[in-house]
Amino acid sequence: MKLQNKVAIVTGGAMGNGLGIVKVFLKYGAKVIIFDYSEKLNDTIHALKDEGYEVDGYLVDIRDSKKISDAVNKVIEKYHQINILVNNAGVAKLTPFLETTDEIRDFHFDINIKGTWNVSKAVVPYMKEGSAIVNLSSVTGTMVADTGEVAYATTKAAILGFTKGLAAEVVNQGIRVNAILPGYIMTPMVEGIAKDSDSSNPASVVEGIAKGIPMKRLGTIEELGELAAFLASNEASYLTGQSYVIDGGSTLPETMSVGV
């Protein structure tokens, strides 16, 4: 299995895209440690252990460098190595720009940008040649954007710059750094957007999103996990500083009228 005996930290792995990544990594033989601040963390850990997987988890707020350092030290004490880091944890709160308070802005910046920075800075010193970092950016901010997404789009674009800068710094240590740019994946975040919409039928909102995607569906968390597993594996040994879109073709149409 391509991740056999690899030790991987996945932030935000208790649900959504992170959980998809965790499940696929476990399938390919990795030992996975989840860093998450969600109350669902323990339930996720127990469920995966019941399936026979080797998985640990630590309640970590990635805005807190000390908590991150403490958790990383525990990982090293138990596993003596860290081969893979997936910076998946992120937040999105859609708000019109002029209504975006400093608190909402900083909520995005502190978790999506600073959190990714904090965890990477704590983990990189323990990584050796052949290690890999996978950052979760987005098509939002790097390729497209909608109203209400200024804070989110800014942070996700920043993750792409972070990926390239870090890749250049650690390449001589044999560490690769790449980014995944998801489009619409069926996650609790998407479900939340649908529920927060003006529609009385959130399911219809998801159906409407799917109709606008050339593949006519949202992606699955497992499909995203497969891409992350590839980038983390030795199969991607000549890839670094790059970004990979997984969006069912949603950024493909040149105009909204294509196909009409």
- Provide the token pair at 30: 């990795």
Delineate the domains of the chain, giving CATH numbers in brackets: 7-183+222-246 (3.40.50.720)
Specify the pLDDT at position 149: 97
User: Which of 198, 15, 230 has its CA nearest to residue 132?
Assistant: 230
Specify the pLDDT at position 13: 98
Q: Which residues of the chain have pLDDT under 50?
A: 257-260
Catalytic (active site) residue 126 = no
- Residues in Cβ contact with 21 at an 8 Å cutoff, skipping those fewer than 6 apart: 10, 13, 86, 88, 221, 224, 225, 228, 229
User: Which of 66, 106, 89, 95 has its CA nearest to residue 15?
Assistant: 89
Angstrom distance (rounded) from CA 35 to CA 192:
22
Specify the pLDDT at position 38: 95
Contact 35, 56 (CB under 8 A): no
Specify the pLDDT at position 193: 66
Query: At 151, which amino acid appears?
Result: A
Specify the pLDDT at position 255: 72
Looking only at the bridges linking them, the beta strands covering 176-182 and 7-11 are unpaired
Specify the pLDDT at position 259: 45
Specify the pLDDT at position 258: 44
Catalytic residue among 28, 58, 152, 184: 152
Specify the pLDDT at position 198: 62
